[in-house]
Every structure is written in structure tokens, then in C-alpha cells.
């Protein structure tokens, strides 16, 4: 087995750990949001806006958005390599779907830090 540490290619262990770590962060964020919705007696625009005005909440949201993108990229790579046999089609689909994932993060940042 050749181990070349200079390459930027992923390996199975890195994908496994990345998927599990991002899943935990996404789940923790989702549990927090569901808990907030359940425990807030009257959910108004002011309460929701106040939650997202907090810098810690903005940071947690950004981290979660990036984790969703990483989770999506790895999952798409696995699904596309398993089910799309044509390499050209796989490359095009991978590019378009990864571009969409990046666009979702960009839109999320604009919404989060918007006026």
C-alpha cells in the first residue's frame, strides 16, 4: 500500500469521520431550533429576529450551513459514483449539484447577515 501524504485526495476514513461529525452538528442545531420553537410561548417576529440577532446564533448557523454543504458534497459523491456510470454525466451532475450546495450556503449567508 502506497501512502502519499502530499496528495489532496480523500480516503474512506476521512469521509466517514466527516459525515459523522457534520451529522452531529446538524442534529444539535436542529434539536436546539426545535427546542426553541417548543419552549417559546408566543413565537413572534421579534422573538425570532432576536434569536438570530445574537452573534453566537449567527455563528452556529454559519457552521451548520457549511456542515450541510460538506455533508451534501460527500453524500452526492458517494451516490453519483455508485449509480451514475457515465463519467461525463457524473462530472456534470456533480458540478451542478455542488454548485447548488454552494449557492444554498451563499443565500443562507445573505439572509443571515442581510439588512
Residues contributing to the annotated binding site: 71, 83
Neighbours of 71 (CB within 10 A): 19
Instruction: Give the residue numbers of the binding site for heme.
Output: 71
Instruction: Give the residue numbers of the binding site for a ubiquinone.
Output: 83
* Rounded distance between C-alpha atoms, residue 11 and residue 49, angstroms: 41
The burial class, CB within 10 Å (0-12 / 13-18 / 19+), for 31 is: exposed
Neighbours of 80 (CB within 10 A): 16
Amino acid at each position: 500500500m502506497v501512502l502519499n501524504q502530499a496528495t489532496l485526495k480523500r480516503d474512506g476514513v476521512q469521509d466517514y469521520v466527516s459525515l459523522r461529525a457534520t451529522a452531529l452538528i446538524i442534529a444539535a442545531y436542529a434539536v436546539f431550533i426545535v427546542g426553541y420553537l417548543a419552549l417559546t410561548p408566543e413565537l413572534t417576529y421579534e422573538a425570532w429576529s432576536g434569536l438570530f440577532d445574537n452573534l453566537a446564533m449567527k455563528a452556529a448557523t454559519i457552521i451548520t450551513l457549511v456542515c450541510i454543504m460538506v455533508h451534501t458534497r460527500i453524500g452526492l459523491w458517494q451516490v453519483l459514483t455508485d449509480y451514475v456510470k457515465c463519467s461525463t454525466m457524473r462530472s456534470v451532475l456533480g458540478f451542478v449539484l455542488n454548485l447548488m450546495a454552494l449557492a444554498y450556503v451563499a443565500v443562507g449567508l445573505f439572509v443571515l447577515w442581510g439588512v
